[in-house]
Amino acid sequence: MDQKRKLFCEISPLTYRISVYKEQTKRRLKNLLAHQKYAALKSVKPFPVLLYRHNSLIRRKLGNVEMQLQENKAVNLSLAAPHINGIIIRPGEVFSFWRLVGSCTKRKGYKEGLIIAGDSTSKGIGGGMCQFTNLIHWLVLHSPMQIIEHHHHNKLDLFPDYGRQIPFGTGTAIMYNYLDYRFVNPTEQDFQLLVYLTDEYLCGELRSVTTPEVRYHIYETDAYFYETDGVYYRHNKIIKRTIDKSSGNIVEEKQLLENTSRVMYDNSFISPDRMKKSKMTIK
């Protein structure tokens, strides 16, 4: 059987660096030509109306990943947070994570953290930033703002659930600077992001000046695992429901994502009651 041909970036560390440099250069050129108005104004004074709040546990048990990488991630998050905290997204402005945070280098104090390369985990300076954009993404989903750039981890379920608070499939994948997380404010009001760290949590708040007439509920449906030819998969759908506050009526309900991901950990971690008995095939 013929071996799968390697991509140029997979040949050696040098070709990988060349590929990354190429993608970063392409992104810089794309940014120059886009002529977008980016969010840059900050205020440490919180806006009066809290729209949504979420706390994300920093140190997690992720399979066999060494806990020192989780400690390093805490350092990395603490360095990045001030670049985001207090950012105001005015009407028509685009929020760009990498435009605000910049490159995560050793010279700036960033440490080795967990990164995901292809279908496996590795170490890299500044690792762990995905948790930051995961938090921001979850906040933004509870708002009328529109996500315009969002990458996923290649349809993989890399780790067993550990104290999961939000639906599987609502995460993000980022890589400086060509895999960004971006959203735009299409409304006529300002929004503000506040982010900070405690000893245990990365904390985030989405705020505005006026009280909205609707609220948002993000949930999963059709969530299950299944097995096909000895390979295990995880399936779910992510739904966003918009609810009128005064009447309680559903204004809108739409599917954000249908997710089918290959399980990369031992299937013994899958609870039997979450397995779908009928065998399915991938479409």
Q: What is the pLDDT of residues 253-270, one digit of tens each?
A: 999 999 999 998 899 999
CA distance 203 to 205: 7
Same domain, 201 and 69: yes
The answer as to whether 5 is a domain residue is no
Residue 11 falls within a domain, yes or no? no
Decide if pLDDT at 6 tops 80.
no
What confidence score (pLDDT) does residue 15 get?
73
How many CA within 13 A on the CB side of residue 48?
5
Domain membership of residue 222 as a residue range: 213-283
**Residue 199, C-beta contacts closer than 8 angstroms, at least 6 positions apart:** none
Whether residues 257 and 206 share a domain: the answer is no
The pLDDT value recorded for residue 65 is: 74
CB atoms within 10 A of CB 202: 24
Q: Are 96 and 174 within one domain?
A: yes
Number of domains in the chain: 2
C-alpha distances in Å from residue 148, one per residue of 87, 97, 121, 183, 247: 18, 12, 27, 5, 31
167 and 135 in contact (C-beta within 8 Å)? no
| Per-residue pLDDT at 61 | 72
Pair (273, 251) in one structural domain: yes
Residues 150, 137: Cα–Cα separation, whole Å: 9
Encoded amino acid at 200, one letter: E
Q: Which of 78, 163, 91, 157 is nearest to 119 (CA)?
A: 157
Residue 234's pLDDT is 96
Residues 99 and 143 in one domain: yes
Provide the pairing of β-strand 201-208 with 49-57.
antiparallel
Residue 201, class by beta-carbon neighbours within 10 Å (0-12 exposed, 13-18 middle, 19+ buried)?
middle
150 and 263 share a domain?
Answer: no
Average confidence score pLDDT of the chain: 91
Residues 178 and 261 grouped into a single domain: no
> Does residue 161 fall inside a structural domain?
yes
How far apart CA 250 and CA 66 sit, in angstroms, is 45
Tell me the pLDDT band of 8, cut-offs 50, 70 and 90.
low
Whether 24 maps to a domain, the answer reads no
Is the same domain home to 146 and 183?
yes
Same domain, yes or no: 148 and 161: yes
Mean local confidence (pLDDT), 113-132: 87
- Among 186, 212, 238, the domain boundary falls at 212
pLDDT of residue 211: 96
159, part of any domain: yes
Quick check: 174 and 137 in contact, CB under 8 A?
Answer: no
Looking only at the bridges linking them, the beta strands covering 112-117 and 120-125 are antiparallel
- In this structure, are 230 and 109 located in the same domain? no
How does pLDDT run across 193-245, given as a tens digit for each residue? 999 999 999 999 999 999 999 999 999 999 999 999 999 999 999 999 999 99
The domain boundary, picked from 184, 212, 240, lies at: 212
* Domain termination site, one of 159, 194, 212: 212
Categorize the per-residue pLDDT at 32 as very low, low, confident or very high, splitting at 50, 70 and 90: confident
Residue 282 confidence (pLDDT) above 60? no
Q: What is the pTM of this model?
A: 0.91
In 3D space, the residue among 265, 270, 238 whose CA is nearest the CA of residue 254 turns out to be 238
Q: Are residues 47 and 167 in the same domain?
A: yes
pLDDT of residue 153: 79
Indicate the pLDDT class of residue 279, thresholds 50, 70 and 90: very low
Kindly state whether residue 1 falls inside one of the protein's structural domains: no
Q: Is residue 151 part of a domain?
A: yes
Q: What is the pLDDT of residues 125-178, one digit of tens each?
A: 999 999 999 999 999 999 999 999 999 876 889 888 877 889 999 999 999 989
For residue 20, tell me if it sits in a domain: no
Residues 204 and 276 in one domain: no
Q: Are 255 and 237 in contact (CB under 8 A)?
A: yes
Pick 228 or 13 by higher pLDDT.
228
Per-residue pLDDT at 283: 40
281 pLDDT band, cuts 50/70/90, is very low
Average pLDDT over residues 110-123: 84
